[in-house]
Amino acid sequence: MVKSGTIILNTAARFLMPLQLMFSVFLLFRGHDEPGGGFIAGLVAAGAFTLYLLAFGVSATKEVLRMVDPRDLIGVGLLLGIVSVVPAWFMGQPFLTAQWWTIPVIDFKASTPLIFDIGVYLSVLGSVIGMVMALMEVDKDEP
Amino acid sequence: MQFAVLMGFVLAALAPLMQRWFADRTSLVLAIFPALIAAWLFAQAPTVINEGPMLMEWQWVPSLGISLTFMLDGLSLLFGLLISVIGTFVLIYAGSYLKGHRDIARFHIALLAFMVSMLGLVLADGLVTLFIFWELTSVTSYLLIGFNHTDMQARKSARQGLFVTFAGGLALMAGLVLLGVSSGEWSLTDIRGMEADLREHALYTPMLICLLLGAFTKSAQFPFHFWLPNAMAAPTPVSAYLHSATMVKAGIYLMARLQPELGGTPLWIGVLSVVGAITLLVGAFLAINHTNIKKLLAYSTIMALGTLTMLLGIGTEYAMTAFVTFLLAHSLYKGALFMVAGILDHETGTKDVTAMGGLRPLMPVTATIALVAALSLAGVPPLLGFIGKELKFEAVLGAGDFQGLLVVFAFVSAILTIAVAAIVALRPFYGKRHETPKVPHEAPLGMLMGPALLSVGSLVFSLAPATFGVDSLLSSAASAVAGEPRDVALSLWYGVNWALIMSVISLGLGLLLFKYWDNVRGKLMLLAPVMRYGPEAGYEGLLNGVVQFSEWQTRVLQNGYMRNYILVMLVVLIILIGNSILLRHSPLLAFDLDVRFHEVIVVGTMVMGALFATVTRSRLGAVVSVGIMGFSIALIFILFSAPDLGITQLLVETLTVILLVLVLFRLPRFSHLSTPLERIRDGSVAAIMGILIFLLIMTAWSIDQFESISTYMVENSAPLAYGRNIVNVILVDYRALDTLGEMFVLALAAIGVIAMLKLRHEPESPKTAVEGSKSDIKEPYDG
């Protein structure tokens, strides 16, 4: 189990992971209008890392993640979810009322639901890879 | 005022810091806070008395109609003054009483928090606010009773007080909700004047019963009185403050507050006067059974609380006057007597009155205070207690219902009360000097000040009620309780009447009882075996029953085996769904088979996956075949044009299979496989569940009870939420609060899994972990 995968899996994972991650970001941003969204995108990204984990093991994946601990992703995700609540208060509207702003130059519609969705994305991603990594690390401890 | 109450909580939080700055003087510094509140209340008194209730509005949750509005009328003014003035004395007193105690900071936190909770309770205008402060007083009382947390008895008593008052609190909540629902108003001010509607309302009886349960438990009415004597495990300043002068009167306050709207019905009169009278007699009778000075006083407090309830029940003009007078008189003398008891305990090292004696020459000031306060308790002129008792007798003599019963109960308990007063004031100070564990000497000034001033109050308020504004304060309070203007003019002399005659006779009999107290107590000891079957035994039985029941159901339902949990959950679902679909609705099976070839293939794959999962001996095989079913479901979603669901299902299924595989490697080998009998059981549960779900889906599909909400979503998601993907719009906009909650659930689950996996390994030595896991790992490869 802990033994890393075959050449085919390794090669595929090396190329698929960045593609999957890009695809997940694509899903995240199109989610408000087309199929997609933070939850699905988070799962796709988690799938990308899980594939890499299966192919190369925990320590290699940690190198890819560099300083980022999955548990921190959960925290940042929850924080973004909470932060997206605040703007409505400044506008004198009830809790969680969506706010929309258009960023002029690139004509991009920013909104609190988008911030919220990014929060969902990060917490889903963090939760899943956190659990998978913890499970695989338990295996790694044994010869 | 709301600000002051909230500041009190802040001050409570700062108390430990202040302990560092002011050391032994902290109590004195903190006492400034209630003193300021008292000063403010005094300043408002003329306005309230002359111009009527003051409203201090403060919106809290406007969308739910909940406000933190405070209302100051005569009744809350009387209570507020008692709370703040006695609170000031108690803090000063506690500074000496607990001097050098290691946990004094904790004491200050709880006491201050209690003080402001109690103030909030008597000032609250909103029903919800009132309830919140009510529960806060229960919590702080729990912390204070259990202050000596190393003592098991104290912990037990604290828990008992908490359970009894919280059980009542639940009833109170129901009662307040019923009150709010039936009146349509959620504040006391708005309920004013709705008595005609409320008394006739269909919900009147359940509402009143719930409210009274709350009030009776809090105010230690029979049969819930037993927690109060046990609460004497608290330090004496707490007993003086919470368990005689303030908190236990919260229930009385509530009844008095609601008397204008809910009172006067036969149910109200019957329940209150009879329960009050029984409490009165039980308290007075149990008091003389005890030699512990605090228990004696606690039972006499129960007696006083019974009196107050009874007076509210009688509800005549005399009764209202007697109620407010007795309330004030009792708080003054009982607070003083408890503080005296604390002094005795502190100086002699014992709480047993029979072990004390001849202390007067050693502590003359304490002896004088005790004498004055006890005379007021006994109802001897010219003290305030005398006026209270005269009015009480007048009230029971003028009672409309149960007059004979009430008169007898009041008379007998008056005799017993006089004996109690004599025991407390005479026994420790006069007679032969006894050796005590500590060598007694006069208490420090800090401990004498509070009881001395309270006793002086008992004296001067009755001598010159008009001069000190007592008449006008009590008139204002009585008007609030009666719901119409009342005028109280206290006087020590109402002429020779039945009340006076009863007083004189009871005084004589009481002193006689005091003389032969030791003999009487010896005789009463014979009753001890019978007394064991009181309400407290019922409480213990109930508590043990609950503990045993939860042990049993944990053993049966939550035994730690996953298969057992699943079985239990499925059986419960079968019962619930089966009951609803088969017995209450008839299942509908009207559908026409219009199946395409590819659909048959997908469903066929699912069926094969399911069958393989049940027969395979390999866990890995089972996981994979369950996964096949999941992927087929995703396929169905896509076929029926729900791409979001399909994608989600696909991803979740993939990750679930991976997680399951990772987990399965950790599991040990099967210790045994199911017996044929177990297989039949599991198989039938699974089959019934499957059939039921099938019926449920078919029925739900053919019933069209409500208009589908998706029409609204489709129409509004683009114009309102600027999104065309309805699923996503629902998740992040319409139902964002739910999603936020789910995010937290997911995060908690993940953290739980991570924590359990990481912690698991630390306690074991690495060697055993390796040996244990070798056999674990093998199994999945068998498949």
Q: Region A123-127: what's the mean pLDDT?
A: 93
A129 touches chain B (CB under 8 A): no
**Residue B760's pLDDT band (cuts 50, 70, 90):** low
d(CA B260, CA B189): 12
**Binary contact (B750, A74; C-beta < 8 A):** yes
- Whether residue B776 is predicted with pLDDT greater than 60 in this model: the reply is no
- Angle of helix B74-97 relative to helix B250-262, nearest 10 degrees, comes to 180
- B382 preceded by a cis bond (ω within 30 of 0): yes
What's residue B545's pLDDT?
Answer: 93
- Residue B429 identity: F
- As given in the structure block, the two tokens for residue B682 are 């599991």
Summarize pLDDT for B183-212 with one digit per residue, the tens.
888 888 888 888 888 888 888 999 999 999
If DSSP codes are grouped into helix, strand and coil, which group holds residue A102?
strand
d(CA B305, CA B369): 23
If DSSP codes are grouped into helix, strand and coil, which group holds residue B493?
coil
Q: Which residues of B touch A96 (CB under 8 A)?
A: 736-737, 740
Window 35-64 of A: residues touching B by CB (8 A cutoff) are 35-40, 43-44, 46-47, 50, 54
- Whether residue B767 is predicted with pLDDT greater than 50 in this model: the reply is no
**Binary contact (A130, B729; C-beta < 8 A):** no
What's residue B590's pLDDT?
Answer: 67
Task: Report whether B1 contacts B120 (CB < 8 A).
Answer: no
**Binary contact (B751, A47; C-beta < 8 A):** no
**Binary contact (A98, B769; C-beta < 8 A):** no
What's residue B770's pLDDT?
Answer: 41
A119 touches chain B (CB under 8 A): yes
Q: Region A30-53: what's the mean pLDDT?
A: 87
Of A34, A95, A123, the CB nearest to B743: A123
Q: Which residues of A touch B730 (CB under 8 A)?
A: none
Of B723, B731, B746, the CB nearest to A127: B746
Distances (CA, A) of B585 to B231, B373, B590, B689: 54, 71, 15, 17
**Binary contact (B750, A46; C-beta < 8 A):** no
What's residue B213's pLDDT?
Answer: 94
Of A74, A81, A139, the CB nearest to B665: A139
Closest residue in A to B780 (Cα–Cα): A1
Q: Region B524-550: what's the mean pLDDT?
A: 84
What's residue B581's pLDDT?
Answer: 81
What's residue B197's pLDDT?
Answer: 84
What's residue B16's pLDDT?
Answer: 85
Q: Where are the alpha helices (DSSP H) in B52-126?
A: 74-97, 104-123
What's residue A5's pLDDT?
Answer: 61
The DSSP string of B356-378 is: ----TTT-HHHHHHHHHHHHHHH
Q: Which residues of B touch A82 (CB under 8 A)?
A: 740
**Binary contact (B754, A131; C-beta < 8 A):** yes
d(CA B471, CA B488): 6
Give me the interface pTM, i.e. the ipTM: 0.89
Task: Report whether B397 contacts B403 (CB < 8 A).
Answer: yes
Q: Tell me the backbone φ, ψ of residue B60, rounded to 5 degrees.
A: -120, -70
Task: Report whether B5 contacts B119 (CB < 8 A).
Answer: yes
- As given in the structure block, the two tokens for residue B303 are 């007696």
If DSSP codes are grouped into helix, strand and coil, which group holds residue B67?
strand
- As given in the structure block, the two tokens for residue B702 are 């053919």
Q: Where are the alpha helices (DSSP H) in B263-382?
A: 266-287, 293-314, 317-348, 364-378
Q: How far is A79 from chain B (nearest CA, A)?
A: 10
Least confident residue range of B33-47, B135-149, B342-356, B756-770: B756-770
**Binary contact (A37, B732; C-beta < 8 A):** yes
Choose from A131, A139, A140 for mutation: most chain B CBs within 10 A.
A131
Least confident residue range of A101-110, B36-45, B335-344, B348-357: A101-110
Burial of B444 (0-12, 13-18, 19+ CB in 10 A): middle
Summarize pLDDT for B135-156 with one digit per residue, the tens.
999 999 999 999 988 888 899 9
Least confident residue range of B133-147, B431-445, B549-563: B431-445
- As given in the structure block, the two tokens for residue B672 are 């045994």
Q: Which residues pair with A48 in a beta bridge?
A: none
Dihedral of CA atoms B578, B584, B590, B594 in degrees, nearest 10, equals: -40
Element holding A21 (H helix, E strand): helix A7-30
Half-sphere exposure of B228 (CA within 13 A, CB side): 36
What's residue B763's pLDDT?
Answer: 52
Dihedral of CA atoms B85, B254, B195, B178 in degrees, nearest 10, equals: 140
d(CA A85, CA A89): 7
Q: Where are the alpha helices (DSSP H) in B379-426?
A: 384-397, 403-426
Higher pLDDT, B59 or B600: B600
**Binary contact (B747, A77; C-beta < 8 A):** yes
d(CA A1, CA B506): 91
Most confident of B251-255, B495-499, B638-642, B660-664: B251-255
d(CA B778, CA B776): 6
- As given in the structure block, the two tokens for residue B667 are 């599991």
A92 touches chain B (CB under 8 A): no
Of B731, B740, B744, the CB nearest to A37: B731
**Binary contact (B662, A132; C-beta < 8 A):** yes
How many residue pairs bridge chain A and chain B with CB atoms within 8 Å of each other? Answer: 149
Of B651, B666, B750, the CB nearest to A47: B651
Of A32, A54, A116, the CB nearest to B725: A32
Q: Region A14-31: what's the mean pLDDT?
A: 89
- Of all residues in chain B, the percent with pLDDT exceeding 90 is 28
d(CA B283, CA B243): 14
HEC string of A40-74 equals HHHHHHHHHHHHHHHHHCHHHHHHHHCCCCHHHHH
HEC string of B502-514 equals HHHHHHHHHHHHH
Q: Where are the alpha helices (DSSP H) in B124-203?
A: 127-145, 152-183, 188-191, 195-200
**Binary contact (B723, A33; C-beta < 8 A):** yes
If you search the block for the tokens 């209340």, which residue do you land on?
B41
d(CA B68, CA B62): 10
